[in-house]
């Protein structure tokens, strides 16, 4: 557990240093525009905002791109159910507490310093800030096919 926190902290520190040294990323998903919630979700809860930090093709893996982003969840925010296509996803909680559920898995709650991964094709049914008063933030890393969208929301029901 301590090793995971140290590794996560080193990853965040490394990403911050890399982001400072590199030019801004071009977001292939939604730039810094909040994800479009369904009509029902829009009237009830705010949504998250994805802000790209770095996007770079992997030099040793043809056709793959590394993208890092900060995902901000205002108080009581909830993301629309979604997928990340063929991307492998790593998420690290920078601040606050996030509840998450992937299809076929139980609901899990992650606190600051904890992390999870999503396999390619995973269906993310739930992602929400558990607090009604405090923000939550994630560092999210995508290893995706170059040119693919990073987030594909489920159609409204």
Q: How far apart are CA 65 and CA 57, in angstroms?
A: 4
Do β-strands 64-73 and 123-129 pair in parallel, antiparallel, or remain unpaired? unpaired
Q: How far apart are CA 28 and CA 130, in angstroms?
A: 28
One digit per residue, the tens of pLDDT, for the chain of length 157 reads: 444 444 444 344 444 444 434 434 444 443 333 444 444 444 588 999 999 999 999 999 999 999 999 999 999 999 999 999 999 999 999 999 999 999 999 999 999 999 999 999 999 999 999 999 999 999 999 999 999 999 999 998 7
Expressed in angstroms, the distance from the first to the final Cα of the chain is: 39
Q: How confident is the model at residue 156, as a pLDDT?
A: 87
Q: How far apart are CA 11 and CA 85, in angstroms?
A: 24
């Amino acid at each position: 557990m301590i090793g995971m926190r140290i590794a996560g902290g080193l990853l965040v520190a490394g990403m911050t240093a890399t982001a400072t040294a590199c030019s801004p990323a071009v977001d292939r998903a939604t730039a810094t525009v909040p994800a479009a919630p369904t009509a029902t979700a829009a009237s009830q809860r705010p949504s998250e905002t994805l802000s790209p930090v770095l996007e770079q093709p992997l030099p040793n893996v043809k056709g793959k791109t590394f993208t890092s982003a900060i995902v901000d969840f205002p108080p009581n925010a909830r993301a629309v159910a979604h997928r990340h296509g063929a991307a492998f996803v790593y998420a690290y909680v920078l601040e606050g507490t996030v509840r998450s559920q992937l299809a076929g898995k139980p609901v899990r709650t992650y606190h600051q310093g904890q992390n999870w991964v999503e396999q390619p094709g995973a269906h993310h049914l739930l992602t929400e800030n558990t607090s009604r008063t405090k923000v939550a933030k994630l560092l999210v890393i995508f290893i995706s096919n170059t040119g693919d969208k990073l987030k594909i929301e489920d159609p409204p029901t």
